[in-house]
Structure 1
Amino acid sequence: MLKKSFLPIVNCTTQTLILGSLPGDKSLAENEYYAHPQNRFWKVIEYLFNARQRISYTERINILLRNHIGLWDVCAEASRPGSMDLAIQDERTNPIAELLETHPKITQIIFNGQKAYSLYLKHFNKREDIIYRCLPSTSPANARCNLENLIAHWRIIISD
């Protein structure tokens, strides 16, 4: 039941950090962020950055990094049966404050859903030099938001 997060995907040009809560079971099995085929995260990214569909995980990560976007989770580990965010318990957070110190170009944090945002607020203080935005979750559990609505909300991650 103890689940662990992945290492952050960032580089020295990262300006926007997308934070999820904790990888789901399919992601953990595949060792890839957002690996569940019903999660719409990569569909949104591919649409926003005009990528062809069905690109490799490495190509997806490269799209993020080329566009100054990083990816990580609020939780380093937590107890959770299954993959539902509501079941997260006894979480231990990733060292996000340290990451922000070592990557000073990060000026925006985007939360992939309310659970990631609430976990962040529970364990971290907001910094005045960072913009925080909570976007609708790309999880299949968020049935209220279709792909078109997600794309409309997530468009904010495209830099000007």
Structure 2
Amino acid sequence: MPGVESLRQNQYYAHKRNQFWDIIYGVFDEEKEEKYSDRVKFLNKKNIALWDVIKQCEREGSLDANIRNEEMNNLKDFFNKYTNIQYVLFNGTTAKRLFKKYIGFNVPTITNYYQLPSTSPANTRPFKEKLQKWMIIKELLCNI
């Protein structure tokens, strides 16, 4: 579920300290674009879909630990519509845990699931360590 700043700006990973955009551009060794619309186009060019596991929830602040009464996005229909999707990568543990709880890991078209370190500022792992784990995206896209 997007954090407070992302919801306010209506953009994925809008918090200035969230490292998602720096990491995703780093995976492809490209310069991060400033405009959000250009970032979305970048993902599309790289054949990367981005969607939340949670459709809506109650949460005070932005911490995943505060999520209550969550309602899931209809990912089963999403995967049935986009049968060319082969991999699901989770940005952190909460996304994977909720996906497993509500959807499960038996989507017929998905060959593998990967949990990556959260890009949230709450995850204090060094940037280089996170980027190294996220590099699997480049490897997976080469296999498609």
TM-score in same-fold range (> 0.5): yes
The equivalent residue for 2:121 is 140
2:100 & 2:36 partners in 1: Cα distance?
30
Pair 1:155-2:135 in alignment: yes
More strand by share: 1
Aligned positions, number:
138
Pair 1:116-2:105 in alignment: no
* Structure 1: segments with no counterpart, 5+ residues: 1-21
The root-mean-square deviation of aligned C-alpha atoms, in Å, is: 1.1
TM-score scaled by structure 2? 0.92
The equivalent residue for 2:70 is 91
1:103 & 1:54 partners in 2: Cα distance?
27
Give % identity. Answer: 36
Partner of 2:8: helix, strand, or coil? helix
User: Contact (CA 8 Å) 2:79, 2:109: kept in 1 or not?
Assistant: no
Partner of 1:118: helix, strand, or coil? helix
Runs of 4+ in 1 over 4 A off after TM superposition: none
More helix by share: 2
- The alpha carbon displacement at 1:59 in A equals 1.3
Pair 1:53-2:32 in alignment: yes
User: Contact (CA 8 Å) 1:49, 1:63: kept in 2 or not?
Assistant: no
- The alpha carbon displacement at 1:73 in A equals 0.5
TM-score scaled by structure 1? 0.83
User: Contact (CA 8 Å) 1:38, 1:140: kept in 2 or not?
Assistant: yes
Mean alpha-carbon deviation: is it higher for 46-55 or for 111-120? 46-55
